[in-house]
Structure formats: structure tokens, C-alpha cells
Amino acid sequence: MRAFTYERASSVEAAAKAAASNPEAKFIAGGTNLLDLMKLEIETPTHLIDINGLGLDKIETTADGGLRIGALVRNTDLAAHETVRRDYGLLSRALVAGASGQLRNRATTAGNLLQRTRCPYFYDTNQPCNKRQPGSGCSAIGGFSRQHAVVGTSDACIATHPSDMAIAMSALDAVVETAKSDGSRRSIPIADFHRLPGDTPHIETILESGEFITAVVLPPPFGGKHIYRKVRDRASYAFAIVSIGAVIQQDGTGRVAVGGVAHKPWRIEAADTELPKGARVTASALLADARPTEQNRFKIDLVERALGAVIAEARD
């Protein structure tokens, strides 16, 4: 790990200004992803800004009956919160499926959304990776690609987003609240928050320099059946090969998001209208522009079958 300096931010505004003034700075909260990347010298910040003392760890009801989740709420506390379990069961289930208890005790809401890909070529500093070193190439293209994306890819990157929580947030139409270095705030629909790789896969979100997440807001509860189904290579805390987050009403209508298939949580609103017609039609709408490799082509069938299981569970 390379040497770095450290400070504890005294306010949201001070934290944003400190980050904007130093392009080599990183925010640190739980550190469950950042510290691992620093040890591997994939992330090499010269300065860390600790935001744990900013009071962003509250879960509060909004005026319209939704829920505001502070950026620093730990995953354990969020999954166990009475309102989340009752009204946003999809989110609670996704969090519990996402990691071990030890990691959930440290991981934060904002950090979960911002975690970086688990592509093995990204983690292997001996291999070219456009996400780690822009312009160096993508080792996954033409390499071992079983775990990689099948939709929303580019010629520069076929990595997937690893977060389970983000899939639930996407299906629930969450809004990400941020603070910027000039003192202004933004509210960003989660569908717009993460970027597709294009020619710049190292730029993963639309956050600007110094801007950071302060909260995630959920709309009023949708009701219906909340289901999170995660297909993985082993039952204990593995990243998803494919995951389905869905809220389905008694009439078969609902919302669905897919994980393990793209550079970001994959949600196509037009596919929601196809849910009552069955898994095959909905999966075709979700993955209409899929570009799989020979090694991960099976994911298209897997999405259909996993979604079929979710629809069957909702009907039961």
C-alpha cells in the first residue's frame, strides 16, 4: 500500500471542497472495497477524507411517505430496519444475500452503490484493463468471460456491476442525493446514476469532482410481493452470476431489475409491461440488445429461468 495522508471531514461542504481541490483524494467510510483496492495498488489515493463523522447515518420517513437512507447507514442496520423489512422487503433480502455479517456491519449504503467490479482481470495488475488503466485494452474480451456482461457492453469493457443492493434500489426507483463542492445538491434517479462503459469504462458514475452521496431516497411503498433471487456458483456470499430483483402485484404487473448481466443494474421500464405475459417475453425485452460471448451465452437462458421462478413465487 502506498503512503497517503488522512483527514476527518468536519462538514459535508468541507468534505466536498477537500475532494475537489485534490484530484488524488478519495472518500472513505466503511472501506470494505477501497482498502482492498489500495492494498493491491489498483486504487492509489494520496489523501483519504473520512466522512464517518458527518451524521449521514439516519433512516427517516419522507413527507410523501417514502424513506430517506443516509449514505453512511450500515448494510446490517438497513437490512434489519423495521420499515425496510415491512415495506421494502426486496431491499432487505438483497442486502442479506450480498455479503457476510462482518462485511455488512461495516459496508455503507453509498459505498455499496460505488463498489467497483469484481472482474478478475481488473484485479490482476499484470493484465491489461481499460477500467484500471484507460487505453490499455480489455483482457476479458477474448479471455475467460463466463462471469461477464451480456448487455450494455462496449469494445472497451464487458465487466459487470457487483452490487446486490443496487439491483433492489433500481427496481424500487430510488433517487440518489448528492452534495457538490460549490454547495449545491443534486437528486439523481438511480437509473441515471451509473454509466455504461462506452469508451470510458473507468468513469463508472455521473458524479463530478468532489461530489459525493449524502442519501438515497425511496418512494412510497409499492406493495405487492418483494422477491430477490440470486443465482451464484456457491450458496455462501458469492457474487451473482445472475440476480433478479422484482416487485410484483397480484395482477402480475410490477417492476424488475437484473444483476450480473451489465456494467450497471439493468432495468428496462418497457419490460415491466411484459411481466403479466410471462418470463420468456419479459426476458426478451430486458435483453433485447444482448451481445454475449460463447462462454456467457447461458446467462440469457438463466435470466429467463430465474425470472420464471420469481413470477411463480409471486403467484404462490
- pLDDT tens figures, 23-40: 999 999 999 999 999 999
Beta bridge partners of 243: 230, 259
Which pLDDT does position 257 carry in this prediction?
98
Q: Sheet with 212-218: list strands edge to edge.
A: 59-61, 67-70, 212-218, 175-179, 185-189
- pLDDT tens track for 53-104: 999 999 999 999 999 999 999 999 999 999 999 999 999 999 999 989 999 9
- Overall average pLDDT of the 215-225 stretch: 96
Looking only at the bridges linking them, the beta strands covering 59-61 and 67-70 are antiparallel
On average, the pLDDT of the chain sits at 97
Rg (CA), the chain: 19
Which pLDDT does position 63 carry in this prediction?
97
- Overall average pLDDT of the 110-124 stretch: 97
Residue 138 pLDDT greater than 90, yes or no: yes
This prediction has a pTM of 0.96
